[in-house]
Amino acid sequence: DQQVKQNSPSLSVQEGRISILNCDYTNSMFDYFLWYKKYPAEGPTFLISISSIKDKNEDGRFTVFLNKSAKHLSLHIVPSQPGDSAVYFCAARATGNQFYFGTGTSLTVIP
Amino acid sequence: DVKVTQSSRYLVKRTGEKVFLECVQDMDHENMFWYRQDPGLGLRLIYFSYDVKMKEKGDIPEGYSVSREKKERFSLILESASTNQTSMYLCASSLLKGTTEAFFGQGTRLTVV
């Protein structure tokens, strides 16, 4: 059963607006959450992460929010740029163990 | 700069062939992983290893085996390639402990004909 879920396969946003990507998880043992960005024919690259002891982490245009009670995290990109168009994967980990990935959300930023 | 290097970007193999995918990392990471990525299915874990000669099955190990003889190298073996193993294969590595990310290689696009 999928422990990390991304229910939106795709998202389109106008350049300059906010992109919000969502992710849900089921395992309460997860203590570290990550977002990866992937272009076609390339490996995923790490974008931003958050520990379970925090509820928000910000890095430039990217902010990740964690709601542990709802087992939900989201990635906000503000302002969105055409170069942000990619597939975004949410991932979760219990310390020392494997990473579990969602199915990905394809973001298209329209100029 | 940290690096995970996969031996091939593109491979075309015939059904029934034995296929080796090689991965090397230069970060002295304990963990190494093999995933495959398919449309709509995300990244699915095939095998991972947390130490030399150690391996653990992931979610979809059937038809695959792995080898880790040295800490920096993790090989994925398709014993008898089949067309349903056509996919993008991704190798990754990470530290065993601590809140750190996994680093990915550039991927190998394998086509089995």
Query: Over the range B74-107, which residues count as b (16 or more CB within 10 Å of their CB) and which as e?
Result: bbbbbeebeeebbbbbbbbbbbeeebbbbbbbeb
Contact B90 A104 (CB under 8 A): no
Tokens at residue B108, please? 């190998």
What's the confidence (pLDDT) of residue A95?
Answer: 66
Q: Could you give the dihedral angle defined by the CA atoms of residues A5, B104, A31 and A18, in that order, rounded to the nearest 10 degrees?
A: -60
Residues A32 and B58: their CA atoms lie apart, in Å, by: 19
Residues B48 and B96: their CA atoms lie apart, in Å, by: 12
Confidence of residue A45 (pLDDT cuts 50, 70, 90): very high
Residues A61 and A15: their CA atoms lie apart, in Å, by: 13
Q: Is the per-residue pLDDT at B2 higher than 90?
A: no
Averaged pLDDT of chain B = 93
Which range, of A43-47, B40-44, B108-112, averages the lowest pLDDT? B40-44
| CA proximity to B38, closest of B20, B60, B17, B56 | B60
Percent of chain B's residues with pLDDT above 70: 96
A82: distance to nearest CA of chain B, Å? 22
What's the confidence (pLDDT) of residue B39?
Answer: 87
A73-85 pLDDT, tens digit per residue, is 999 999 999 999 9
Q: How many CA atoms lie within 13 A of A66 on its CB side?
A: 23
What's the confidence (pLDDT) of residue A2?
Answer: 80
Q: Is the per-residue pLDDT at A96 higher than 90?
A: no
Q: Three-class SS of residue A82?
A: helix
Tokens at residue A71, please? 């087992």
What's the confidence (pLDDT) of residue B86?
Answer: 98
What's the confidence (pLDDT) of residue A41?
Answer: 82
Question: Which has more pLDDT, A106 or B39?
Answer: A106
Tokens at residue A28, please? 């309460």
Residues A57 and B40: their CA atoms lie apart, in Å, by: 28
What's the confidence (pLDDT) of residue A102?
Answer: 94
User: Which among A89, A91, A98 is the nearest to B48, CB-wise?
Assistant: A98
Contact A103 B106 (CB under 8 A): no
Tokens at residue A7, please? 């229910």
B32-81 pLDDT, tens digit per residue, is 999 999 988 999 999 999 999 899 999 999 999 999 999 999 999 999 99
